[in-house]
């Protein structure tokens, strides 16, 4: 049973049938999935969702597949918890962490989008799946391609962190390391996608793929017991995640699952790659691409596809945009680890650092409630913190040596 | 003067199915005007009502995004290669 009506151009509104396409033929705007909410409203209730297994497919009517899901059956439904220690450090009333650093199976929010994209790729009958990635997506496509039985090519910028490279290669897929930055990889993949009949999850399947990010937002609402937070801080590379969390809240509002969407959406980028936040701050109509130079490689997209839409939402919800320097990113990673015991990757460091700045600058009032979006795992970006943390204390295996250290250290 | 222009799939209906055509022009916007003479209808697909290149179209001159250069006024010379790429996806 499908609840998808069609694809629709976000710019000119022309509609298209459900196919592996992503660009409006007329004006070249991006295509978006449109649902029949009237039909969904008749079949989907909070109780029904609650009765289902704890994975992202519990919201399947709001995801763009025609049949039953086939990929990522254990992905999603990651923890949302109150960060009491971080609240004390920041001096605010309430902070929640939505923690996709433990998403199944590849430890980032990309398991969500890939679950949806590869389920759709199966429906379309593709044999080969591919992606352009800053690392996390490559890991997710590589992993899910194996369990789902696809052939797989992943394309990455050559300078990625070692862990992100190994976490793709381990699955025995074809990993193409392109001499260039993500935007070069992306452009190449656009050209490859027009020549080869492959399912590029974030090119020709992007309208479907991106919908998977909505489940991050659905889960937040459900885990808050069917309400939205006052503030949410979201890291941005292409800007897609932010737009889809907004869409998720909107859809739940439309279905009557929440009363009113009154969340302020804040956008976090690294200062070494902040085309979206810069355009927001400069009140610019266009987003000027940048050449990324930041340790937050997972956010290093200089030409963000959904940047203008992300800006629209931040403005509409009266949120803010802020950036974090490399030093602040490392501090953010360490702070989250030392207060909440969560080791996040560089993107998480950006989000924590930006949260701190928004509170300090009083853009987020201290008596309000904030969600910090943690989208990836620190084990994948160890290089970023390697030389900025303590060292092991080396001793001989006897009590005397240990107590010598204790006296000295304490 | 000859400039090689790579045409994206949706526009190939206007270029008799050709994915690559030769054209001329001193700047990117002039090149689009030249293309329009040969392939009527192509300009309104690439440019909005004000004549500016649509915001979801990416144009690369010799692999370089023109937004890093002089935008639609970016100068062209003989032998340059221009790629027209629809909506950058990714991310």
Query: Which residues are bridge partners to A200 per DSSP?
Result: A130
Kindly state whether residues A259 and A320 are assigned to the same domain.
yes
Contacts of A48 (CB under 8 A, 6+ apart): none
Residue A74 has pLDDT above 80, yes or no: yes
Mutation target to probe the B interface, by most B beta carbons within 10 A, among A22, A190, A287 is A190
The count of other CB atoms within 10 Å of the CB of residue A17 is 7
Using alpha carbons only, what angle is made at residue A65 by residues A62 and A68, rounded to the nearest 5 degrees? Answer: 100
Q: Please give the residue range of the domain that contains residue A40.
A: 4-73+110-209
What pLDDT is stored for residue B86 in this prediction? Answer: 76
pLDDT tens by residue, A91-140? 999 999 999 999 999 999 999 999 999 999 999 999 999 999 999 999 99
- Assigned domain for A403 exists: no
Residue B1 has pLDDT above 90, yes or no: no
Kindly state whether residues A21 and A97 are assigned to the same domain.
no
Kindly state whether residues A282 and A172 are assigned to the same domain.
no
Question: How would DSSP label each residue in A298-316?
Answer: GG--SS-TTHHHHHHHHHH
The gap from C-alpha A261 to its chain's centroid, in whole angstroms, comes to 21
CB contact under 8 A, A202 and B58: no
Q: What is the pTM of this model?
A: 0.94
What pLDDT is stored for residue A71 in this prediction? Answer: 98
CB proximity B90 to A under 8 Å: yes
Query: Chain B partners of A25 at a C-beta cutoff of 8 Å?
Result: 10
Kindly state whether residues A230 and A328 are assigned to the same domain.
yes
Q: Cα-flanking dihedrals φ and ψ of residue A47, to 5°?
A: -60, -40
Contact assessment for residue A217 and residue A245, using Cβ atoms and an 8 Å cutoff: yes
Average pLDDT over residues A249-273: 98
Helix (H) and strand (E) counts in chain B = 2, 5
| Range B3-86 has CATH code 3.10.20.30 | yes
Predicted complex ipTM: 0.80
- Assigned domain for A173 exists: yes
Q: How many domains does chain A have?
A: 2
Pairing verdict, β B64-65 and B57-61: antiparallel
What pLDDT is stored for residue B90 in this prediction? Answer: 80
Residues 128-157 on A with a CB inside 8 Å of B are 132
Distance CA(B11)–CA(B18), nearest Å, equals 9
Q: Mean pLDDT over all residues of chain A?
A: 96
What pLDDT is stored for residue A194 in this prediction? Answer: 81
Kindly state whether residues A167 and A125 are assigned to the same domain.
yes
pLDDT tens by residue, B65-88? 898 899 999 999 999 999 998 767
Kindly state whether residues A198 and A226 are assigned to the same domain.
no
**Residue that finishes a domain, picked among A193, A209, A225:** A209
Contact assessment for residue A297 and residue A135, using Cβ atoms and an 8 Å cutoff: yes
pLDDT tens by residue, A80-95? 999 999 999 999 999 9
What pLDDT is stored for residue A332 in this prediction? Answer: 98
CATH of residue A289: 3.40.50.1100
Kindly state whether residues A102 and A120 are assigned to the same domain.
no
- Assigned domain for A54 exists: yes
- Assigned domain for A394 exists: no
Cis preceding linkage at A105, omega within 30: yes
Kindly state whether residues A68 and A12 are assigned to the same domain.
yes
Kindly state whether residues A164 and A251 are assigned to the same domain.
no
pLDDT tens by residue, A272-312? 999 999 999 999 888 888 999 999 999 999 999 999 999 99
Kindly state whether residues A342 and A235 are assigned to the same domain.
yes
- Assigned domain for A410 exists: no
Contact assessment for residue A304 and residue B91, using Cβ atoms and an 8 Å cutoff: yes
Kindly state whether residues A191 and A267 are assigned to the same domain.
no
Structural domain spans, chain B: 3-86
Residue A154 has pLDDT above 80, yes or no: yes
Kindly state whether residues A62 and A87 are assigned to the same domain.
no
Place of tokens 């009557």: A256
- If residue B3 lies in a helix (H) or strand (E), which one and from where to where? strand B3-6
Residue A410 has pLDDT above 60, yes or no: no
What pLDDT is stored for residue A323 in this prediction? Answer: 98
- % of chain A residues with pLDDT over 90: 93
Average pLDDT over residues A160-189: 95
Contact assessment for residue A7 and residue A207, using Cβ atoms and an 8 Å cutoff: yes
- Assigned domain for A322 exists: yes
What pLDDT is stored for residue B44 in this prediction? Answer: 92
Query: Chain B partners of A306 at a C-beta cutoff of 8 Å?
Result: 91
Distance CA(A369)–CA(A381), nearest Å, equals 29
- Assigned domain for A392 exists: no
Residue A187 has pLDDT above 90, yes or no: no
What pLDDT is stored for residue B55 in this prediction? Answer: 85
- Assigned domain for A31 exists: yes
CB proximity B89 to A under 8 Å: yes
Residue B53 has pLDDT above 70, yes or no: yes
CB contact under 8 A, B58 and A305: no
Greater model confidence, A23 or B9: A23
Contacts of A28 (CB under 8 A, 6+ apart): A11, B10, B45, B54, B56, B57, B86, B87
Query: Chain A partners of B10 at a C-beta cutoff of 8 Å?
Result: 23, 25, 28
What pLDDT is stored for residue B67 in this prediction? Answer: 87
Residue A224 has pLDDT above 80, yes or no: yes
What pLDDT is stored for residue B25 in this prediction? Answer: 95
Query: Which residues are bridge partners to A129 per DSSP?
Result: A152, A199
Query: Which residues are bridge partners to A235 per DSSP?
Result: A268
Query: Which among A11, A303, A305 has CB closest to B65?
Result: A303
């Amino acid at each position: 049973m499908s609840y998808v009506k069609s694809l629709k151009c976000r710019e000119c509104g022309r509609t298209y049938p459900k196919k592996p396409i992503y660009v409006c033929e007329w004006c070249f705007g991006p295509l978006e999935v449109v649902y029949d909410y009237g039909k969904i409203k008749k079949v989907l209730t909070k109780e029904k969702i609650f009765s289902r297994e704890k994975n992202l497919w519990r919201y399947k009517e709001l995801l763009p597949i025609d049949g039953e899901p086939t990929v990522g059956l254990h992905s999603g439904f990651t923890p949302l918890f109150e960060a009491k220690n971080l609240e004390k450090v920041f001096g605010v009333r309430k902070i929640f962490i939505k923690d996709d650093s433990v998403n199944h199976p590849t430890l980032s929010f990309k398991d969500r989008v890939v679950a949806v994209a590869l389920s759709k790729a199966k429906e379309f009958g593709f044999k080969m799946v591919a992606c352009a990635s800053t690392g996390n997506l490559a890991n997710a496509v590589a992993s899910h391609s194996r369990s789902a039985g696809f052939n797989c090519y992943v394309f990455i910028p050559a300078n990625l962190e070692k862990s992100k490279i190994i976490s793709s290669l381990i699955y025995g897929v074809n990993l193409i390391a392109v001499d260039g930055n993500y935007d070069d990889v992306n452009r190449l993949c656009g050209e490859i996608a027009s020549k080869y009949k492959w399912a590029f999850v974030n090119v020709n399947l992007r309208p479907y793929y991106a919908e998977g990010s909505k489940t991050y937002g659905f889960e937040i609402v459900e885990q808050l017991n069917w309400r939205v937070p006052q503030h949410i801080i979201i890291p941005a590379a292409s800007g897609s995640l932010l737009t889809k969390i907004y869409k998720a809240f909107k859809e739940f509002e439309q279905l009557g699952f929440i009363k009113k969407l009154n969340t302020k959406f804040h956008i976090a980028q690294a200062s070494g790659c902040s085309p979206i936040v810069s355009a927001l701050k400069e009140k610019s109509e266009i987003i000027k691409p940048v050449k990324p130079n930041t340790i937050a490689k997972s956010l290093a997209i200089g030409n963000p596809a959904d940047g203008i839409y992300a800006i629209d939402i931040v403005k509409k919800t009266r949120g803010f945009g802020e950036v974090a320097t490399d030093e602040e990113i490392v501090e953010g990673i360490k702070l989250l680890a030392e207060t909440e015991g969560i080791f996040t990757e560089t993107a998480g460091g950006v989000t924590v650092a930006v949260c701190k700045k928004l509170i300090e600058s009083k853009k987020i009032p201290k008596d309000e409630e904030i969600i910090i979006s943690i989208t990836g795992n620190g084990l994948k970006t160890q290089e970023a913190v390697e030389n900025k943390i303590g060292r092991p204390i080396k001793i001989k295996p006897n009590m005397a040596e240990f107590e010598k250290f204790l006296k000295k250290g304490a | 003067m000859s400039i090689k222009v790579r045409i994206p799939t949706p526009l190939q209906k206007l270029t008799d199915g050709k994915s690559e055509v030769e054209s001329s022009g001193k700047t990117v916007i002039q090149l689009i005007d030249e293309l329009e003479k040969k392939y009527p209808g192509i300009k309104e697909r690439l440019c909005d009502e004000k004549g500016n290149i649509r915001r979801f179209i990416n144009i690369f001159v010799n692999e370089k995004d023109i937004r890093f250069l002089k935008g639609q006024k970016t100068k062209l010379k003989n032998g340059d290669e221009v790629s027209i790429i629809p909506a950058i996806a990714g991310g």
